[in-house]
Amino acid sequence: MKKCLSKEYKLAKVKLVLAQIGLLLFILFVWEIGARIGLLDEFFFSKPTSIAALFWKYFRTNEIFKHVLISLYETVLGIVIGSAVGILIATILWASERLSKLLEPFLVILNALPKTALAPIMIIWAGTGVRGIVVVSISILIVVTIISTFNYFISIEPEKVLMMKSFRANKYQIFTKLIFPSNLVNIISVVKINIGLAWVGVIVGEFLVSRAGIGYLIMYGGQVFRLDLVMMGVVILSILAYIMYEIVNLIEKILLKKRGKGI
């Protein structure tokens, strides 16, 4: 029975992937034909074949790797530092109810601030180059990480916490044995959200100060009215963000499988 359900699940998954690929190919086909027959203005929208030709040109000269690696480095730094610091602060807030109540309104205000609009100020504070761009990226995701993770931590059933306290467990033991392990998958979900937020910060930062990176390519393409260059940057950005998301998603599935086995 389980094998039958497993086969049905795998077949449904294959069908879904094929449908997604088919939809993507259909969109690209309509885009290409629309640009060729004049339904879409090629100056504003470019077309898939032009984007592919430009990508091949950048690929042959190895120039595309420089831009991709710089943006990836900045994004990964933003995700790792922002997520780690955010989770640490959320842990401190969980450990101190008084501190969490004290800082709650400030977190709400920080979350409401338009970080992208404040990006120039942050770059002036942190300095230009990679450091400033990473700071912008961290500023966009860290408050979301703190609030989401803290809410996950305090949502654990009070009965479980009381049971551990009845066995004279201290806060450190409650956190390491109950709170954190129970929320590990939730934390992975927060990291998945942070991928998109980190990319937003990196692209905004590269718009302002970078001389390389995907954000720089998009900005430069817009300045010289090369929409094929802009669209190439957008496509590369989409692919990289999707790959990073799937890597984290795979980690989440592994954790869920281990939890299901009771490991």
Residue 43 CB: number of other CB atoms within 10 A? 10
Q: What is the CA radius of gyration of the chain?
A: 23
Take residue 15 and report the two structure tokens written for it. 């069908």
Torsion of CA 222, 223, 226, 228, to 10 degrees: -30
pLDDT band at 261 (very low <50, low <70, confident <90, very high): low
Q: Which of 81, 93, 85 is nearest to 152 (CA)?
A: 93
Residue 61 carries which DSSP code? T
Q: What is the mean pLDDT of the chain?
A: 86
- Using a pLDDT cut of 90, give the percent of the chain over it: 25
Average pLDDT over residues 217-240: 87
Residue 263 has pLDDT above 50, yes or no: no
Instruction: Give the dihedral sign, CA 146/201/69/77.
Output: negative
Residue 92 has a pLDDT of 93
Instruction: Give the dihedral sign, CA 68/70/71/74.
Output: positive
* Tens digit of each residue's pLDDT (9 = 90 or more) over 75-122: 999 999 999 999 999 999 998 888 888 988 888 888 888 877 788 888
Residue 225 has a pLDDT of 82
Residue 207 has a pLDDT of 85
Enumerate residues 6+ apart whose C-beta is below 8 A from 85.
Answer: 138, 142, 145
pLDDT band at 178 (very low <50, low <70, confident <90, very high): confident
How does DSSP assign 130-189, residue by residue?
HHHHHHHHHHHHHHHHHHHHHHHHHTS-HHHHHHHHHTT--HHHHIIIIIHHHTHHHHHH
Residue 156 CB: number of other CB atoms within 10 A? 15
Residue 259 has a pLDDT of 65
The rounded distance, in Å, linking the Cα atoms of 104 and 125 is 25
Residue 146 has pLDDT above 90, yes or no: yes
Decide if 214 contacts 236 (C-beta within 8 A): yes
CATH architecture of the domain with residue range 43-261: Orthogonal Bundle (1.10)
Residue 52 carries which DSSP code? H
The number of C-alpha atoms within 13 Å of 98 and in the hemisphere containing its C-beta is 0
Instruction: Give the dihedral sign, CA 251/254/258/260.
Output: positive
Of the two residues 176 and 127, the one the predictor is more confident about is 176
Please state the domain extents for the chain. 1-40, 43-261
Residue 176 has pLDDT above 90, yes or no: no
